Amino acid sequence: MDYPKTAAGVLKSVGGEENVQSLVHCATRLRFVLKDTAKADTAAVRATPGVITTAEAGGQYQVVIGNEVPEVFAAITAAAPRLAPAGTETATATEDGPKGNILNRFIAMISAIFLPFVWVLAGTGLLKAFLAAATTFGWLDATTTTYTVLNAAGDAFINFLPLAIAITAAKYFNANQFTSLAIAGALVYPAIVALNGAPDLTFFGIPLVMVSYVSSVIPVIIIVWLQGYAERFLLKVLHSSVRRFLTPLIVVTLAVPLTLLVVGPISNLLSSGIGDGISWVFDTVPWLGGAIMGGVWQVLVMFGLHWGLVPIMLVEIAAGNGSDLLAPVFAAVLAQSAATLAVLIRARSAALKQLAGPAAFSGFLAGITEPAIYGVNLPLKKPFVFGIVGGVVGGAIIAAGGSAASAFVFPSLLGIPSLLGIGNVATLFIGIAVAVAIAFTLTMVFGFKEPEAAAPAAAESADDVDLDVRSPLDGTIVPLDEVGDTVFASGALGRGVGIAPTAGTVYAPFAGEVVAVFPTGHAIGLRAANGAELLIHIGVNTVKLGGRHFAVKVEQGQRVAAGDVLIEFDRAAILEAGYDLTSPVIVTNGEQFAIAAEPAAGAVQHGEALYLAVAAAPAQ
């Protein structure tokens, strides 16, 4: 992947740096918070080399890159340093921009707070899981200094999790990070921890009910949120000569007792309620809870909504009984990975094998399934469904055996030791094996509709190599640099022309394969037998219509003949809605095919010559 090229293409296609409120990245995605989502051209983003797909969820515009997302993120922030101020990777709640509904705002908040340290949380959790397995099997004596050192390395981060949350929450809520650390530090201060459970505690005569803040999540988030408001008020009303030291003095003096007297106990009741509710489901009908988690997890991952469950899992783990929610997720992740492995074995296409191999490896060993979902299973449909079936059955079995995760890890083969200390081990391995077997076997037996490779045949003449592109629309030809979209007009996505349509039907401009059908119906990608790839994008910013007024007549992987109907659209309704219908028709693999001479001009009917795409001479 050419990281700078991918970064530049993505940044332009989301509306440029000026349209980005904030940017973070997780294991596989760039997560933009855009000032105006209407300025983002999803078709252009997806057409950028290196981009797997896009998704909009949790108030974020998400661009799925895969395992190389850190490099693309680095390339974007190198070109636009404002998007990573002071090297941070968190959003700020107080910046101007769309807020969305309560769910979107909650998911955006959780993502911003947990994403910066989730790999450390998962890595130290994995160390803790390995250590627990070593003592369980007698490989390491828990009374030795070696165990003490390794246990401290694996347990410290989750133990002092409130400190990490204080830092990222302060960035998100625009509060002073060091004041937040002072507040969170007081909550896990040894003398305060020692008071947990002690009777007859008071603060200036007010009864004090002490709860444990070790590994806690909710109290710190709430108090830092309140801290942000308090600081902004005090900095406004206090004199400049004293505000810098009086503000943290007042905030810490008030926030720590407030947390211990009010926020902490209320948060503890809320956490206990959530934990008791989950425990009731898994105690009463455990297989149902496991089946639900095993079935819905990968769907939540598709939209980035799984982050909303991470705090609940951490609350479960902090309670000391392990996470019932996390255990069945192993079945979901490993089942999708198994389906991808079956695709690798069964596929005939070398390109599909190249996608499936690394995706399956990433899923099995690291628990990262976005490359498998977006790059392989979801486009092929059946493997994705078979993976969900395996997740449902395997998750039900795992939960029925009472398994729970003793540490927060990414569900993977390497993370299995986190499940060994709680529940029935035999049922656990049976559930995982069944999930993997179902997904793998169903994919191998029932297969999938594999897109036909369109490798160019050996040519004996220029006519066999070059491509005569015919007009896919009735209308008037517009020079590409006059199209009302700067990304297309600049030629960044490819060369060609625009067409202002006079009718609402898109026809195949040559015989070939449909390689991309966008869900909103406003764009389609084709590949000719000689390898030339064409993008037809109906209108400017019409992605905002969400598929209204478009009817796609073909599907991805389908072979079409020149003149076949590809898409029908309601031209009058789209124009009435205020959209520019000028439609770019461009060759996207311009490094291999150039447009010969001048394209046609003036009025054109579908099927008439538009331009000639000439194959570039091979490098010597």
Distance CA 164, CA 228 (A): 17
CATH of the domain at 17: 3.30.1360.60
Q: What is the pLDDT of residue 308?
A: 66
Q: What is the pLDDT of residue 456?
A: 41
Q: What is the pLDDT of residue 184?
A: 94
- For the chain, the domain total comes to 4
Whether residue 123 lies inside any domain: the answer is no
For the stretch 233-247, pLDDT in tens is 998 898 888 888 899
DSSP state of 501: E
- What tokens appear for 522 in the block? 């406003």
Are 534 and 501 in a shared domain? yes
Are 297 and 268 in a shared domain? no
CA 147, 148, 150, 151 torsion-angle sign: positive
Are 441 and 335 in a shared domain? yes
Vertex 381: Cα angle to 13 and 108 (nearest 5) = 45
Q: What is the pLDDT of residue 64?
A: 82
Distance CA 313, CA 327 (A): 10
Are 419 and 307 in a shared domain? yes
Whether residue 454 lies inside any domain: the answer is no
Query: Above 60 in pLDDT, residue 620?
Result: no
| Domain limit, last residue, from 97, 118, 134 | 97
Distance CA 413, CA 330 (A): 8
Are 476 and 522 in a shared domain? yes
Distance CA 259, CA 222 (A): 9
Are 191 and 236 in a shared domain? yes
Are 266 and 298 in a shared domain? no
Whether residue 426 lies inside any domain: the answer is yes
| Domain limit, last residue, from 97, 121, 147 | 97
Are 419 and 475 in a shared domain? no
Question: What does pLDDT average to over the chain?
Answer: 84
Query: Above 80 in pLDDT, residue 172?
Result: yes
Are 296 and 393 in a shared domain? yes
Top pLDDT among 349 and 259 is at: 259
Query: Above 90 in pLDDT, residue 339?
Result: yes
For the stretch 377-401, pLDDT in tens is 888 889 999 999 999 999 999 999 9
Query: Above 50 in pLDDT, residue 264?
Result: yes
Give the least confident one: 96-100, 180-184, 200-204, 581-585.
96-100
- The maximal CA–CA distance of the chain, rounded, in angstroms, is 95
Whether residue 13 lies inside any domain: the answer is yes
Whether residue 111 lies inside any domain: the answer is no
Distance CA 599, CA 559 (A): 26
Nearest to 336 by CA among 366, 305, 313: 366
User: With 0-12 CB in 10 A as exposed, 13-18 as middle and 19+ as buried, what is 563?
Assistant: middle
Task: Please state the φ and ψ torsions of residue 514, each to the nearest 5 degrees.
Answer: -80, 115
Cβ atoms of 175 and 112 closer than 8 Å: no
Residue with tokens 């401009």: 509
Query: Above 70 in pLDDT, residue 463?
Result: no
Distance CA 469, CA 594 (A): 12
Are 297 and 256 in a shared domain? no
**Residues classed as catalytic:** 26, 537
Label residue 565 left, alpha or beta by phi (over 0 means left) and psi (-120 to 50 means alpha). Answer: beta
Q: What is the pLDDT of residue 598?
A: 64
Residue 348 neighbours by CB distance under 10 Å: 9
Whether residue 77 lies inside any domain: the answer is yes
Residue 19 neighbours by CB distance under 10 Å: 18
Q: What is the pLDDT of residue 98?
A: 44
For range 574-589, the mean pLDDT:
91
Distance CA 317, CA 309 (A): 13
- Residue 22 pairs in a beta bridge with 33
| Domain limit, last residue, from 230, 257, 278 | 278
Whether residue 11 lies inside any domain: the answer is yes
In this structure, are strands 609-615 and 593-596 parallel, antiparallel, or unpaired? antiparallel
Query: Above 80 in pLDDT, residue 451?
Result: no
Are 233 and 342 in a shared domain? no
Are 332 and 398 in a shared domain? yes
For residue 219, the enclosing domain spans: 160-278
H helices, E strands: number in the chain: 23, 20
